[in-house]
Structure 1
Amino acid sequence: MRKNIAFFDIDGTLIGFNGTSLVMPESTKRAIKEFRERGNLAFICSGRQIRFILEMFGTDMFDGYISANGTQIMLGDKVVFERTLSKDRIEYLKNAFDELGISCIFNDAFHGYSYDMDESRIKRYNSQFKGNDYILKRWNMDNIKASSLDIFYKDEDALEKCREYFKESLIFNPHGPNMSADVSLKEWGKADAIEYISEYLKIPMDNTYAFGDGHNDIEMIKRVNTGIAMGNAVEELKEVADYITSDIFEDGIERAMKTYKLI
């Protein structure tokens, strides 16, 4: 049986903005490579969709992928779990967002379905992807199979109203000055997906590690045996972490893995 399994958030954990583009520190690449060479498993665990993940990291750097805040799990190129939003729930969300003045994208693994998004934001979002546009402006409810969503708002007050409205069901992970947030479900998130794949692979939770920086990483960090917050993490995450490492661009992942003798 393999020794350990580690789960890594993407934005602010594996990659960060260096002033011109999103980059992955060389120290992080080294650390994950050595970790796997020792017989351990490395999984991405992110709010990002699988299309972005595969375009950004390829298929050789990680053993598996938990995408869309836990609603899709892949082991290699095989989908082993998928959870989608019901049509009734999508209609409910659309009506609530109309009331709150929120626009959004409903996401599946390879496409996003825009709702009330302005053209400039759609263009900006599509620029992150290679080839055909990710966001589709025209779609039919009967033809989508969305598993996650992102929201867009005009100011922090709008976000707080949204948080209060959905306090029993949704978690919002804001993306700083972009006035956007990815959304995870309180009834099923990253932590639940980690437990699922741990059981699927028969690797005990005692052998689990997680690295994160955002609000949608809190339950993941609490659920694994050893939860590690990046130095650039939000304070709420640092409060529940077992260990706080340095910032992403200060070799945070490599330092933590050395501290726990994983490499």
Structure 2
Amino acid sequence: MKALFFDIDGTLIDNETKQVPRSALKAIKDAREAGHLTFINTGRVECIIGNIKSRFKMDGYICGCGTQIVVGDKTVFEKRIDHDRGIEIKKLLKKFNVEGMLEARQGIYFPAKPFIYPEITERALDAISTVVEPSVGEFDRDDYDFDKFCIFDDPRFSRSDLKSFFAECSDFDIIDRGAGFYECVPYPCSKGKGVLKVLDYYGIALEDAYVFGDSMNDLPMFTCGAKNRIVLGEHDTALEEYSTYFAKKVLEDGIYLSMKELGLI
């Protein structure tokens, strides 16, 4: 029995077209029928993977870069940002004029309009709105907790003091996704730590772990010790030195063909 871990965006779903190849759906189905365990391992929090759950039948989900692990229908691990620390983060965002999006398993929270970077943040808001109804202008409320957060910036004409803000966030892993987008995950959580917790839960060896990814927030998966590391055709070049298999692009049946060649299906 092997354990397979899949990123979503850019791995199972094409980033540009948002299409899911039928071959990827078949590959997951065939792998489970062969007796393997399959898991989503995503930066998305639980409230925005509902459509993924309905399309891909998985054995579990690692959400929010390892801040929540669900096996079957049971949450076996969770880490939320401490309530008071969450309030402090919101104050720091305002103090340093930083545009942020708060991510929680129960919802997504945007600052009040007008946004600091309207073009960028409106685009993110529109994308989230296709999956779940986000809350806008509720940063001042203190009756909710969140799991991680993202930062939006415009490198062309930044109006934010990111350096000072990040200096106040030493308890977070700041993942630079490029183009002014940063993912902020509370230590010690990561996609890699999530993989290790699932392997330990089932008693599966690192030699039998397969991770599939494409972007910088997948790097912890590729460096956690899993012996089989599959990078999709369109990927961040920083993953290449850690990859053991280079798959084709998502829409070129990259998932199915790689799993076939690796003997998983």
TM-score w.r.t. the length of structure 2 is 0.84
Partner of residue 89 from structure 1, selected from 85, 90, 95: 85
Instruction: Confirm whether residue 43 of structure 1 aligns to residue 43 of structure 2.
Output: no
2:2 is aligned to: 4
How many residues of Structure 1 are paired with residues of Structure 2 in the alignment?
257
Taking a change above 3 Å as real, the CA distance of residues 131 and 246 of structure 1, as seen in their structure-2 partners, is closer
Sequence identity of aligned pairs in percent?
27
1:138-172 CA distances to partner (integer Å, 9 max, x unpaired)? 25654212111111112268598489746884232
Residues 157/212 of structure 1: CA separation in 2 closer, same or farther (3 Å cut): farther
Structure with more of its chain in helix, by fraction: 1
CA distance in 1: counterparts of 2:131 and 2:28, whole angstroms: 28
The within-5 A match list for 1:223-242 is 223=224, 224-242=226-244
Q: What's 2:247 paired with? A: 245
User: Quick check: 1:163–1:172 contact (8 Å CA) kept in 2?
Assistant: no
Structure 1: stretches of 5+ with no match in the other structure = none
1:251 shift after superposition:
1.3
- Residue deviations 1:212-255, cap 9 Å, x none? 01111111112212111111110001121122111111111112
CA distance in 2, matches of 1:228, 1:156: 34
Letter in 1 for 2:6: F
State the alpha-carbon separation in 1 of the partners of residues 189 and 249 from structure 2: 28
Q: 1:259 corresponds to which residue?
A: 261
State the shift of 1:89 in Å. Answer: 3.0
* Contact in 1 for aligned 2:223/2:242 (Cα 8 Å): yes
Are the aligned partners of 2:47 and 2:132 in contact in 1 as well (CA < 8 Å)?
Answer: no
Q: Answer whether contact 2:5 2:41 (CA < 8 A) is retained.
A: yes
Query: What's the offset of the Cα at 1:202?
Result: 2.0
1:172 aligns with 2:175: yes
Deviations 1:197-222, CA, capped at 9 Å, x for gaps: 11112222221110001111111112
Q: State the 1:129 CA deviation.
A: 4.2
State the Cα RMSD in Å. 2.8
Contact 1:103 1:117 in 2 (8 A): no
Q: Is 1:16 aligned with 2:44?
A: no
Most deviating of 146-155 and 64-73? 146-155
Q: Is the 8 A contact 1:211 1:230 kept in 2?
A: yes
- Cα 1:56–1:167 change in 2 (3 A) is same
